[in-house]
Amino acid sequence: MELKGKTSKMARLFLYAAIIQGGIAALITFVSAIGDQIGLYPVAVARVIAGGEPGMWFVMGYLTYLIVGVVAMAVTSLFYFYIETVLGKGYTGAAKTLAWMHLVLGNIGVAGAAILAMIGGYLGGAGMQPVSSGGQGWTTYQVHIHVLSYLEYPITAFILIAILGFILGGIGYILTIRSK
C-alpha cells in the first residue's frame, strides 16, 4: 500500500479523543466499583444494576460510552487516516470545518447522553433501594417522576448533537474523497 499524503491531523485528534474518553471511562469504572466503599455515594452501583429497571439506564449509558465514546472514536480515526494519508486528500475549507464539527459535536453528544443516562440510572436505582440500604424506597413510578423525567429531553438533545456531528463528518468524508 502506497501512502500518498502526510500524517493525518484529524486521525490524531480522533485518537486523542478516544484516549481521553477511555480515561474517563476507566475513572467511571473505578468509581462505580468502589464509590460506595469510600463514601462517595450511599448505594453500590452493583446493587443499582442488579435491581434492574432504572439501573438499566446506567448499564446502557455505560455501554454506549464505551462503544461509541471510546471504540467508535478510535475507529473513526482510521477513516481520517485513510482519507488523508493513504488517499493523500487533505481536509480544507468546508470539509475541514465539517471534520472539526464531527470531532466536537460527536464527542460532546455521546459523552453528554451517556453520562446523563448513567447518572439517571444510578439516582433512580438508588432511589428504589430500601431506606435501610441507603435508598428512598421509591416505586418505579416515583423514580420516573423524581429523576428520569427530567433527563429525557437533555439526553435526547445530546443524542441529536452527536448524530448531527456524525452526519457532518460523513459529509466531510464525501467532500474530501471527491475533491481533486
pLDDT tens by residue, 82-114? 999 999 999 999 999 999 999 999 999 999 999
Amino acid at 167: I
The pTM of the full predicted model, rounded to 2 decimals, is 0.91
Other C-beta atoms closer than 10 Å to the C-beta of 148 total 20
pLDDT tens by residue, 154-176? 999 999 999 999 999 999 999 99
CA nearest to 151, candidates 109, 108, 121: 121
Amino acid at 81: F
How is the chain split into domains, by residue range? Answer: 9-178
**Structural Rg of the chain based on CA atoms:** 20
Other C-beta atoms closer than 10 Å to the C-beta of 98 total 22
Is residue 98 a contact partner of residue 39, using CB atoms and an 8 Å limit? no
Average pLDDT of the chain is: 94
Taking the C-alpha atoms of residue 82 and residue 76, their distance in angstroms, rounded to an integer, is 10
Is residue 66 a contact partner of residue 74, using CB atoms and an 8 Å limit? no
40 phi/psi in degrees, rounded to 5: -75, -35
pLDDT of residue 134: 87
pLDDT of residue 70: 97
pLDDT tens by residue, 35-87? 989 988 889 999 999 988 899 999 999 999 999 999 999 999 999 999 999 99
pLDDT of residue 1: 61
Cβ contacts of residue 74 below 8 Å, gap of 6+? 14, 15, 18
